[in-house]
Every structure is written in C-alpha cells, then in structure tokens.
C-alpha cells in the first residue's frame, strides 16, 4: 500500500473506545502526525467495545473510577450519544441494604443525584419487577446508556479532520521496534512493524483491550491484564418493552446480590452476569476476526455457567422466563490483578504508553487522562496513582498472579467490598526476614501490594484489659480491625513499640551526579551535610504531588531514598524516567538488602541505649539525623544505621539492619525492652492511628496530584535556589496561596439513628456543611475524608480532609456522611497536629 506511512509522531494501536477517544483528545491538545492502526474492520473491529452493554452507573466508591465515570458519561452526553435511562441497584439482603446506604454516601461524595427506594417505589419505575424478593433499591437517575461505537467513530473522525490523523483498519502489528537507552534497565520505543509496512514513531500507545499484553510482550514489557468472560444473554421480545418504542425506556436494574443486571435493549432485555465461575483466557486463545463466528471477543456461550443466573433473573422478572434467548455470548473484557486500569508510560520502555483494561463506562475519561499525561507530563483531570501502570511490582507481572487475582475479584464486581478488604490468593510474595518472629507473635498480616506487613499482633491481646478496650458495636466497623491496634498505640505512647517496616522501599542513588539529580526531583533541599535527611514532596510538572518521601545523605555522592510499599513502583519509575543519561548517577533498589525496624515511644532511648555505647541524646542523634552505630546483640555486634525520625509522633528511630541480621537485632531489642514495656506494634498504629493523631499526610490519601504542598501544609518558609520538577508551578502556588487546606476533624458523636456507635471507615466519606450540603473549593474539588481512624491518645476518632480555605478554622463544625447518616465533626487542627502540636514528645 503506497500511502502507508513510514514515520509518525504517534502510533496508537487499537480503535476501540479507548484508542478512538485517545486520538480525539490528543488532537484537541494539539497533537498532529498521528496514525491509528487497528487489526479489525471499522467501525466495529471486534474488541470488547463492540459487545459492551454500554451503560454507566456513575457511583463508585473508588475516586478515580467514580470521577472518570462521571467525566466519561458527560463526554458521551456532550456528543449526544447518550440517553439517561436511570438505573436502580436492588437489594435482596440486609447486608446489601447497608451497602446501598454506602452507595448513597459515595453518590453524595461525587455529586451524583441518588435516592433510596422502597420495593413499591422500585416497582413504580420498573412495573415488571417482583418487589417481593427485594428489600429496596438505590436509584440513580443519571445512569446512562451510550453508543460507544459511534462515539469512537466521532472522536476518530474529529482527529482525522482537525489533526490529519491517518487511520488504517485491517492492519495487524507483527513486531514492536525498541531501541536501547543510555540508562541501564531502560529502553525506548522506536516504531511498529505491521502487515502493511513499518512505521517509525516517537510515541506508541497500546490501546488494544484484551490483546494489550500480547502487544506489550512484543516490546519486551508487560501490561498485567487477562481477558475474562462476562456472560450476557439477550432475551425477547417482550410486549412491555416493545411498547416503549425505544432503545431504552426503563431504568437498568442491577440485581446486586445475584451479581446480574437487566438492561432493556429495544424490545429485548439483556441479562448480564458477573456471577458465573471466573472464565479466563490467554490472548492467544482469542480467535482472529476470520475465525470468530460473531466477533473475536464474543466467544461461544457456555450455557451451563449461566443457568443459575437465569433462575434468579426469572425470580426477579418473571416475564424473562418466557422470552426467547436470541443471542448469548461469552463476552471478553479485561481484568487486572487489582481491578484497576493500566494507564501511563511503561516503566521500562520510554514513550511506550498503555491505555488498557479500561471499560466503556470510563473510556473517554481514561483516554483524556492518558492524552493529558502524554501532553503535560501528568494528567490534569485527576490523580491517576491507582491506575498508573508503574504501580505494579515484578511479582505482579506474571500470568499466575494475574489469573489468581482476577479469579478472586471477578465475582466481587458487584460484591460488597470493605475498604480494608485483604486478598486471599497470592499471599506471602514478599516477606520479611523477621517473618518467623512475627509469626510467633501472632501477627495479623495485611498486604501492601506484594509485601506482607503485620497489622497487629494477637500476642498483645492482654493489653486490652489494661487499657479497657473492646470491639466495635457494628460488624462492618470491626471488620479488618482489632482493638489491639489501639492497645498497641497506647502502649507505644506509654512505653515503647517496635514496628516491622520491612516493606519500606529503599533506593540508592550514587555517583557524582547523585545529589544534583536528587535535588532535581525534590522540592526541599537535599544537598545538605552527610548524616542529614530531607523529607520532601516530589512534584508533577504542574506542581501537584507525585510522591512524598524521605532522602538520606549517606555520603558525598550517596543519597538513600525511603518510600512506602504502595508507591515503590511509581517512585522507581519516576526516578528512571528522569535519570541523567550521562552515566553520572547509578540507581540501585536496595529494598531486600535491609530490614527497617521502627522503635518509638518514651522508653525508646533507654531500650536502644542498652545495646550501644553511642550517644543517643538529641545532641548525639538529633532529630532528622542518620548515623551508623554498632548494636550488641546475642549474635554479636551488628552495624546498623540509625535514622532519628518518626511517623507516629514519639521519639525514636528507624533502624536499618542488613537483611539477614534483622532477627538478631529484633531479638536484642525485645530483650532490652522487657523491663520498659516494649511491645511489637503493627501497621495499624504506624499507618493510621499514630500518624492521624499527628496529622502526617500519606501519598494517595491526603497527597494527590490535584493538591500542592501549600494546600497540604507542607510548604517550607523558603524555596531553594536549585531547579526541580514542578518549581514554576510551586512558586505560583505559593504566590496564590492555598485554595484548600488540609484539616484534622474530631468526631463529636458516633451515635447513628438506630442508637449504635458507628466508626467512619477509611476514605472518601463526604465532609458536608451542617445543613448537609457538599463542600467544593473554587477549583471544584470536593471535601471528603482522606483518612479516618481512632486516635486513642488524643481521645477521639479523627478524620483528615481538605476544606476550602475560608472554612478551614479550628473550632468550625461540619458533618461527615457515613453509611448515609450524618455525624458531627469539629476542626481540631489545620496544618498542624491534633495531638502534641508542639512536638514535645518527638524532641524528648
């Protein structure tokens, strides 16, 4: 084909909803010289878009999914390719009714109109429903049905007309061309080889839905997703539907407890299911367009898997039983190990981007995220950390892992998932060398991605009586929680606690350019004397948070970076992306060379002092300093690094111990602490209780790219002279002043309408006015709880969250919605800490 291009700035692979919307958004952002290739025919190439049920329920507990769902729905509306059908989630159980109250809360948070209905009210809207099997419904009038194929066509044509996009259907990628890169471990995309010819390209985007990992593999990299079956049967015609004379005349019903939906499609009803056994396929098992009777992603229906759902559907809508099954498929869609999309630049191949594992309901919004990311260096529409492809560790990039996790979460698509819910499969991928010891202490482990972290220790149960603690009244509030956490907390404040922090991600930058490079990444000054540390944000080019972490100056040419287990992948990718290409900096991931043991509490200096002659006073080991000392253990002297810092608000150290010697140090500390009340202390204290009392911010909760250090209360009095990423935006933010301020709120009354004591669970509960109105700042950012947890030393249950600057005053009262009820809260701190605001304990 003579007009097939040999070069382009951007090649987008895949013309489903994502690829089409992506070229449209790129065109709107000024990109030109783009080529879109698609192995199937247009307008329906045979991917998942072509058989999608095309409806959007805009309420989700997850912020990215919810806001991008709303954003996507609005984009479909703007193109007049959407109908607001309304939708109702019905409950058959009391547990689900509670979940619907939780949905009401999320609807409030994201500004989506919603109401709870009685069974009779549901029947008024859906006259053919059996209201005797339901307890109620959650009605959302803005649920919409969209035309995803036409939307894709419109966006693609827009890019053709405004940006000269070239489109080639029936064009299959055979090979990905990748170049070496000066930075070890990195490569760079160079182009694609197709059956029509080779295109050299500066950027390549994989938007191939269920085939995405196959294309990534061609480039020697990995997009962790698996094609999975979602069964759907179209039954009809039925008079009551035909009479609407409409594609969609009745609200969509989600029968949540059977994991099914019923969606009118003209005279028929589509019955879809997430209830059947997980049916996963390898991309190579998907037929070609030619080999597929319907389309490649509409695989032959396996009726045995659907029978149970049919019975339940008939129970809900008797008329379905006599309707004919005209069309039924095992439709393929994409699942990932953590049920979130795969967006962003591949961490090991420069300029190769993933826009995958995205469903129709969030397609246009996610495409916008990727387009902005490619354009501005980071998305503007939302913080993408939960969708960022670089969040995955290597242990998460195997078929074994993806299949196991996808099987586990497929049936939770309509499930009731607790915010702290833990995975059952693929546990123990990364364990500390302290594991045998913590096992012996009865640790309850939570995962931080692949890492196992003790969350509390059942061996501390005896402390419950001492502190007079007991379980919470309502099972939901008690789930994935233990009062032992509060006991460990109080003991740490009274005596001391020892924390297994092995999951810390430890990166070393060495070489003559190490300090300058670290300086370029960081807002705060890193080039300080050896033996000092810097806590600092890393900003996006727009001045929002990419990370917050600690950097230690270990030598003239050696910077050690400590970051959290949830962000290690993202932070490592950020480092590699910006690494100098002149060889002046060497990167090493030292995570599995060291175990970090935290030791904090008023008795911490006395305990540690038993193991070393070193001066541990605030003179010999001042706050923020790092020094090497020798500890005397039962297994001999062990050299460790002591970093005087705290994320829990009490004096003490992070102790970095060579991996294999950690058990000896732990055991020695344990023995030294016996007379000082030392107890092991889990991440329940470290990550929530201790930090919330002190108002310490957490990346991904309080810190997101939508907020800047001024708003988060993390701006220092002065700005360093050195250049750093996001500097200009940061200076502008300082000049403008905060639009919102991070605050600490105390819950004043936990009593709900049934007289029960309720405890707000982590994340996204809306903070509203006393009149119950949502609070938005002038940027349109909504006030929600970013972290919630008990603060036993402070004596109250606390929440963190942003407030518009004019509302952010200590003593102001608001309400927090939880489970669709309002609980009164008072602002107890703005930029500082609720507990020990003078930091006297830290400096003692």
663 SS3 class:
helix
Closest CA to 273 of 294, 245, 304, 243: 304
Least separation in angstroms between residue 224's CB and another protein is 25
Task: Enter the tokens of residue 188.
Answer: 């760079």
User: Which range in 184-192, 323-331, 363-371, 678-686 contacts another protein by CB under 8 A?
Assistant: 323-331
Secondary-structure breakdown of the chain: helix, strand, coil percentages, each rounded to the nearest 5? 30, 30, 40
Among 314, 340, 632, 762, binds another protein (CB under 8 A): 314
Site for another protein in 235-254 (CB under 8 A): 235
CA–CA separation, 102 vs 92, rounded Å?
16
Count residues contacting another protein (CB under 8 A)? Answer: 26
Q: Which is nearer to another protein, 99 or 312 (CB)?
A: 312
Backbone φ and ψ of 499, nearest 5°: -120, 130
Q: Which is nearer to another protein, 222 or 261 (CB)?
A: 261
Least separation in angstroms between residue 1's CB and another protein is 14
β-strand pairing of 87-91 with 252-255: parallel
Closest CA to 388 of 359, 350, 356, 425: 356
Among 3, 132, 239, 322, binds another protein (CB under 8 A): 322
Least separation in angstroms between residue 522's CB and another protein is 53
832 CB burial (10 A radius; 0-12, 13-18, 19+): middle
User: Which range in 50-58, 318-326, 416-424, 540-548 contacts another protein by CB under 8 A?
Assistant: 318-326
Least separation in angstroms between residue 43's CB and another protein is 17
Site string for another protein, 197-236 (x = CB under 8 A): ------------------------------------x-x-
Q: Which is nearer to another protein, 12 or 317 (CB)?
A: 317
Binding flag, residue 320, another protein (CB under 8 A): yes
Q: Which is nearer to another protein, 223 or 323 (CB)?
A: 323
Among 133, 135, 177, 325, binds another protein (CB under 8 A): 325
Least separation in angstroms between residue 226's CB and another protein is 18
Q: Which is nearer to another protein, 46 or 763 (CB)?
A: 46
Site string for another protein, 285-304 (x = CB under 8 A): x-xx-xxxxx----xxx-x-
**Alpha helices by DSSP H, 441-513:** 463-467, 475-478, 483-494
What one-character DSSP code corresponds to residue 35?
E
Provide the phi-psi class of 495: left if phi over 0, else alpha when psi is between -120 and 50, else beta. alpha
CA–CA separation, 417 vs 423, rounded Å?
11
Q: Which is nearer to another protein, 215 or 328 (CB)?
A: 328
- In contact, 329 and 231? CB cutoff 8 Å: yes
Task: Give the CA distances from residue 434 to residues 147, 256, 346, 431, in Å, rounded to whole numbers and listed in that order.
Answer: 54, 42, 33, 8
Q: Which is nearer to another protein, 138 or 301 (CB)?
A: 301
Closest CA to 656 of 646, 665, 648, 669: 665
Task: Give the CA distances from residue 792 to residues 480, 509, 760, in Å, rounded to whole numbers and listed in that order.
Answer: 18, 39, 15
Least separation in angstroms between residue 269's CB and another protein is 10
Least separation in angstroms between residue 151's CB and another protein is 24
Residue 632 CB coordination number (10 Å): 14
- In contact, 788 and 728? CB cutoff 8 Å: no
Q: Which is nearer to another protein, 179 or 285 (CB)?
A: 285
Among 52, 107, 313, 678, binds another protein (CB under 8 A): 313
| Strand blocks (E) in 664-723 | 678-680
Least separation in angstroms between residue 52's CB and another protein is 20
Task: Enter the tokens of residue 505.
Answer: 């991600």
Among 78, 115, 311, 556, binds another protein (CB under 8 A): 311
Helix or strand holding residue 77 (H, E): helix 63-78
Least separation in angstroms between residue 271's CB and another protein is 8
Site string for another protein, 256-285 (x = CB under 8 A): -----------------------------x
Least separation in angstroms between residue 275's CB and another protein is 15
Site for another protein in 382-441 (CB under 8 A): none
Q: Which is nearer to another protein, 68 or 238 (CB)?
A: 238
Among 26, 88, 310, 698, binds another protein (CB under 8 A): 310
Least separation in angstroms between residue 233's CB and another protein is 8
DSSP per-residue codes, 374-394: HHHSS-SSS--TTTBGGG--G
Least separation in angstroms between residue 41's CB and another protein is 13
Site of tokens 């992306």:
577
Q: Which is nearer to another protein, 228 or 386 (CB)?
A: 228
Task: Enter the tokens of residue 388.
Answer: 């960022």
> What is the contact surface with another protein in residues (CB under 8 A)?
233, 235, 285, 287-288, 290-294, 299-301, 303, 307, 310-311, 313-314, 320-326
């Amino acid at each position: 084909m003579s007009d097939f291009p040999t070069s382009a700035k951007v090649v987008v692979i895949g013309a489903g909803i994502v690829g089409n919307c992506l070229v449209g958004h790129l065109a709107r952002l000024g990109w030109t010289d783009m080529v879109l290739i698609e192995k199937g025919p247009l307008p329906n190439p045979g991917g998942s878009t072509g058989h999608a049920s095309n409806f959007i329920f805009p309420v989700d507990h997850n912020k990215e999914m919810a806001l991008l769902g709303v954003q996507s729905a609005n984009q479909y509306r703007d193109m007049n390719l959407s109908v607001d059908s309304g939708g109702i989630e019905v409950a058959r159980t009391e547990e689900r009714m509670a979940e619907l109250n939780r949905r009401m809360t999320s609807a409030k948070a994201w500004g989506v109109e919603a109401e709870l209905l009685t069974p009779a009210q549901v029947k008024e809207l859906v006259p053919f429903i059996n209201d005797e099997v339901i307890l109620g419904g959650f009605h959302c009038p803005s649920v919409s049905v969209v035309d995803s194929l036409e939307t894709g066509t419109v966006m693609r044509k827009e890019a053709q007309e405004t940006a000269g996009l070239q489109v080639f259907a029936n064009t299959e990628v055979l090979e990905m061309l990748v170049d070496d890169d000066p930075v070890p471990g990195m490569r760079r995309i160079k182009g694609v080889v197709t059956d029509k010819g080779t295109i050299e390209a500066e950027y390549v985007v994989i938007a191939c839905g269920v085939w995405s990992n196959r294309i990534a593999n061609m480039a020697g990299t990995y997009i962790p997703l698996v094609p999975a079956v979602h069964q759907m049967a179209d039954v009809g015609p039925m008079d009551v539907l035909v009479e609407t004379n409409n594609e969609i005349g009745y609200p969509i019903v989600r029968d949540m407890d059977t994991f099914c939906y019923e969606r009118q499609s003209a005279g028929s009803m589509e019955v879809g299911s997430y209830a059947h056994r997980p049916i996963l396929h390898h991309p190579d098992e998907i037929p070609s367009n030619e080999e597929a009777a319907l389309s490649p992603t509409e695989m032959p229906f396996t009726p045995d898997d659907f029978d149970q759902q049919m019975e339940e559907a008939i129970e809900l809508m008797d008329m379905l039983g006599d309707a004919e099954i005209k069309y039924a498929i095992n439709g393929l869609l994409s699942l990932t190990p953590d049920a979130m999309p795969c967006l962003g630049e591949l961490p090991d191949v420069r300029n190769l981007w993933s826009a995958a594992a995205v469903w129709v309901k969030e397609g246009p919004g996610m495409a916008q995220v990727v387009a902005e990311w490619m354009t501005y260096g980071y998305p503007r529409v939302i913080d993408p950390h939960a969708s960022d492809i670089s969040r995955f560790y290597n242990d998460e990039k195997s078929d074994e892992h993806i299949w196991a996790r996808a099987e586990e979460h497929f049936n939770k698509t309509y499930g009731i998932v607790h915010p702290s819910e833990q995975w059952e499969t693929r546990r123990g991928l990364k364990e500390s060398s302290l594991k045998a010891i913590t096992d012996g202490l009865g640790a309850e482990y939570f995962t931080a991605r692949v890492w196992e972290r003790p969350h509390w220790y059942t061996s501390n149960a005896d402390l419950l009586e001492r502190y007079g603690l007991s379980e919470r009244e309502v099972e939901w509030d008690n789930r994935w929680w233990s009062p032992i956490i509060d006991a460990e907390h109080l003991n740490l404040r009274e005596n001391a606690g020892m924390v297994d922090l092995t999951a810390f991600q430890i990166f070393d930058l060495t070489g003559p350019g190490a300090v300058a490079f670290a300086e370029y990444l960081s807002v705060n000054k890193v080039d300080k004397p050896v033996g000092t540390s810097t806590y600092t944000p890393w900003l996006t080019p727009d001045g929002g948070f990419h990370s917050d972490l600690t950097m230690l100056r270990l030598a003239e040419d050696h910077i050690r970076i400590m970051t959290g287990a949830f962000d290690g992948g993202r932070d490592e990718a950020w480092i590699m992306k910006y690494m100098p290409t002149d060889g002046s900096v060497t990167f090493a991931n030292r995570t599995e060379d060291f175990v970090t043991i935290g030791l904090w509490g008023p008795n911490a200096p006395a305990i540690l002092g038993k193991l070393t002659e070193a001066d541990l006073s605030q003179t010999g080991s001042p706050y923020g300093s790092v020094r090497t000392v020798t500890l005397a253990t039962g297994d001999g002297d062990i050299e460790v690094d002591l970093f005087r810092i705290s994320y829990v608000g009490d004096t003490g150290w992070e102790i970095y111990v060579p991996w294999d010697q950690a058990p000896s140090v732990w055991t020695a500390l344990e023995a030294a602490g016996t007379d000082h009340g030392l107890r092991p202390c889990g991440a329940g204290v470290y990550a929530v209780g201790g930090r919330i009392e002190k108002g310490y911010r957490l990346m991904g909760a309080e810190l997101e790219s939508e907020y800047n250090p001024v708003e988060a209360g993390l701006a220092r009095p002065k700005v360093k002279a050195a250049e750093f990423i996001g500097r200009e935006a940061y200076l502008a933010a300082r000049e403008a002043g905060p639009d919102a301020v991070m605050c600490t709120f105390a819950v004043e009354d936990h009593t709900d309408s049934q007289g029960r004591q309720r405890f707000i669970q982590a994340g996204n509960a809306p903070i509203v006015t006393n009149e119950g109105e949502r609070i938005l700042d002038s940027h349109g950012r909504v006030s929600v709880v970013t972290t919630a947890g008990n603060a036993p030393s402070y004596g109250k249950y606390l929440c963190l969250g942003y407030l518009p600057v004019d509302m952010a005053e200590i003593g102001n009262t608001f309400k927090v919605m939880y489970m669709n009820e309002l609980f009164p809260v008072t602002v107890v701190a703005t930029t500082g800490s609720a507990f020990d605001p003078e930091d006297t304990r830290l400096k003692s």
